[in-house]
Amino acid sequence: MASSCDPSLVHIAMTIDWHYLRGSIAAVHSVLKHTSCPQNLFFHFIASDARLESRDEFERIVQTSFPSLRFEVYVFEESLVGNLISPSIREALDNPLNYARTYLADLLDPCIERVIYLDSDVIVVGDVQELWKVPLTGSRVIGAPEYCYANFTRYFSYEFWSSAEFSEVFEGKRPCYFNTGVMVMDLLRWREGDYTRKIEKWMEIQKERRIYKLGSLPPFLLVFGGDVEAIDHRWNQHGLGGDNVRNSCRTLHPGSVSLLHWSGKGKPWTRLDAKKPCSVDFLWAPYDLYIPSQHKRIATATMHSPF
């Protein structure tokens, strides 16, 4: 297997855990199915250290599902964020693994200077090589689809906006909402700017002052808002899981689609199993490699995977 330091590789990072494993495998399947060059992909899976045996099990499952896939499973120490996480509006958002994206620059080999981060509840229907080639202009550290029509003020509390000490972070900027489930990240600039520590500082303030309610997203908005490389919206058709409180059905936004994202409370595998699917969930189903009759194991991809 080639080293992850091979400069020709396209690097993709995802978290992996038992609750979202089915989604992670489907996401990988979709990437491989639609890319023009699966041979140059390298996946970096981030697992929690909550169960020490999980790393070996995840390696086995991924290897069985995609025998030719280049990948590595890393262990994220939950203690790094255990004392920094504040309760949010939905319990799932408080999972320490949600914060692993903040530590990718430390987890991945220093030779890796760029990575695409993907949530586990996505399906990629475009060629990920195109996303990889998006330039991060100037000194920008991350790129993501921005949504400037969204009410940005609602992501922070009244105390935040009434305090000049806090709100001045956006002075001279035009911050827009962006979803951290799909990002192109320049890890070299991230390391040089010590952005992990900048995000941690906002999490420390949150513990004392309660300036937001939405998990791992607001610290990214605080650090990068107004300085994000805007990527075409087709690379994150988000919100397909409904909002963060209700498991509601939503339709696709108008326009072309390269990535579908079930952000929100509802997940397609849960709704399909409950026989209460939304129409968009049937777009996820063809990438599902799960066979219920096999005692809740992920099916091998011999007959299904394009790789």
pLDDT tens digits for the chain (307 residues)?
458 999 999 999 999 999 999 999 999 999 999 999 999 999 999 999 987 778 999 999 999 999 999 999 999 999 898 888 776 555 656 789 999 999 999 999 999 999 999 999 999 999 999 999 999 999 999 999 999 998 899 999 999 999 999 999 999 999 999 999 999 999 999 999 999 999 999 999 998 999 998 788 999 999 999 999 999 999 999 999 997 677 789 999 889 999 999 999 899 999 999 999 999 999 999 999 987 644 344 444 333 444 4
Pick the closest to residue 241 from 278, 282, 286, 287 (CA basis).
278
Q: CA-to-CA distance for 27 and 31, rounded, in angstroms?
A: 6
Reading the block at residue 272, the tokens are 């399909």
Q: Which fold has domain 10-290?
A: Spore Coat Polysaccharide Biosynthesis Protein SpsA; Chain A (3.90.550)
DSSP state of 258: S
pLDDT at 93: 62
pTM of model > 0.85: yes
- Residues forming beta bridges with residue 116, ordered by sequence position: 12, 184
Contact 111, 232 (CB under 8 A): no
Q: Which residue is listed with tokens 């940005």?
A: 152
Q: How many other β-carbons are positioned within 10 Å of the β-carbon of residue 91?
A: 9
Helix or strand (DSSP H, E) at 201: helix 195-209
- Which residue, chain included where needed, has tokens 């998990």? 215
Q: What is the pLDDT of residue 291?
A: 74
C-alpha of 35 from chain center = 19
Indicate the domain borders of the chain.
10-290
Tokens of 206: 């949150």
- 168 burial level (CB within 10 Å; 0-12, 13-18, 19+): exposed
CA 99 to chain centre: 10
Instruction: Please answer whether residues 41 and 134 qualify as being in contact, where contact means their C-beta atoms are separated by less than 8 angstroms.
Output: no
